Amino acid sequence: MASILPASNRSMRPDKNTYERKRSVYVKNPYLEGMDEDILYHLDLGTKTHNLPAMFGDVKFVCVGGSPNRMKAFAQFMHKELRLEGDGEDIEDICAGTDRYCMFKTGPVLSVSHGMGIPSISIMLHELIKLLHHARCCDVTIIRIGTSGGIGIAPGSVVITDTAVDSFFKPRFEQVILDNVVTRSTELDKELANDLFNCSREIPNVPTLIGHTMCTYDFYEGQGRLDGALCSFSREKKLDYLKRAYRAGVRNIEMESTVFAAMCGLCGLRAAVVCVTLLDRLESDQINLSHDVLLEYQQRPQLLISNFIKKQLGLCDQMS
């Protein structure tokens, strides 16, 4: 039977930090407290092997994205932007003991890769959220910086997601738990989305908008592409579907935002999704950008998030 768990249903127990108005990172699992040790297997970290509060206690911003190289480049970029010591080129992968994900820390910013698709980001988020909880982090903002296919907007546009929707344009994420389907809310933090949009106004030549983001389970058939190994629908059906998505408010398509919004919302993380579009899906299916253009497009969300983080840290005036 399906049930809705609203994102506002946040705490399992009273927040010990209520008086300081701090926002903790919650885990909603009664079994965790009774565990002697928690091994974060896919991150190659653990509560007995690592001093998580010392390593991560000061983290305030977590940025996640599919590709390990992109997330390393973002960490190096942030290192420079925050004017931290050294050039940041030799930044170490904290998860070097596993090749599932990579993680880099630069000042209060953590940069983590999540691979492609809902199952991959979901595993990473379970362990990342436990990590932040064990490290006693508070007031954490998490942002997915990714790539996507646009609908009816110019390639290179940056979409800040107001609501993540599924393939039926519904703001929900359906998690199969045992043999039940549990439906979770995919609302994102509207204030954060607006703050990011305001920040984007200061970046010239990068068209940026707020819109719904559709999250699919597949890049090809799941996104209505005509160029996969399998295709059982016509060009007309594809265009009809994408135009209906556009009319429902969808401006881009990717593969992680619904589970990201659902899990972060339930665990007390202020969350946003910021993706650049690589093509207009009403025009084409294949991504034929040159390497340089692709690189420049991928840097657009990074530039916006870096400006936002610097503003939040009160560093912008001193640095411009």
Binding residues: 100, 144-147, 223, 225
Q: What is the DSSP letter of 43?
A: G
Token pair 């390990």 in the structure block, residue: 68
Give the residue, chosen from 5, 116, 206, 210, that forms a contact with ligand LQZ7MJT6 under the rule CB under 6 A.
116
Cα separation, 14 vs 139, whole angstroms: 16
The residue (of 139 and 221) whose beta carbon lies closer to ligand LQZ7MJT6 is 221
Element holding 197 (H helix, E strand): helix 190-200
User: What is the smallest separation between the CB atom of 277 and ligand URA, expressed in angstroms?
Assistant: 7
Cα separation, 193 vs 81, whole angstroms: 22
- 175 touching ligand LQZ7MJT6, by CB under 6 A: no
Contact stretch for ligand LQZ7MJT6 (CB under 6 A) within 23-31, 102-110, 160-168, 253-261: 253-261
Work out what residue 67 binds among ligand LQZ7MJT6, ligand URA, none; the CB cut-off runs from 5 to 8 Å by kind.
ligand LQZ7MJT6
Work out what residue 44 binds among ligand URA, ligand LQZ7MJT6, none; the CB cut-off runs from 5 to 8 Å by kind.
none
The residue (of 143 and 278) whose beta carbon lies closer to ligand URA is 278
Task: Work out whether strand 141-150 and strand 109-113 pair parallel, antiparallel, or are unpaired.
Answer: unpaired
The residue (of 47 and 163) whose beta carbon lies closer to ligand LQZ7MJT6 is 163
CB 171 within 8 A of CB 187: yes
Q: For ligand LQZ7MJT6, how many residues bind (rule: CB under 6 A)?
A: 11
Question: Site residues (CB under 6 A) for ligand URA?
Answer: 147-149, 219, 223, 253-255, 278
Give the residue, chosen from 110, 137, 151, 255, that forms a contact with ligand LQZ7MJT6 under the rule CB under 6 A.
255
Cα separation, 215 vs 148, whole angstroms: 10
Residue stretches of the annotated binding site for phosphate: 100, 144-147
Token pair 């994205």 in the structure block, residue: 65
User: What is the smallest separation between the CB atom of 142 and ligand LQZ7MJT6, expressed in angstroms?
Assistant: 14
Neighbours of 60 (CB within 10 A): 16
Distances (CA, A) of 166 to 215, 235, 282, 318: 5, 21, 19, 42
The residue (of 288 and 320) whose beta carbon lies closer to ligand URA is 288
CB 106 within 8 A of CB 74: no
CB 273 within 8 A of CB 144: yes
The residue (of 197 and 219) whose beta carbon lies closer to ligand LQZ7MJT6 is 219
Neighbours of 241 (CB within 10 A): 15
Residues that bind ligand LQZ7MJT6 (CB under 6 A): 65-67, 116-117, 146-147, 219, 254-256
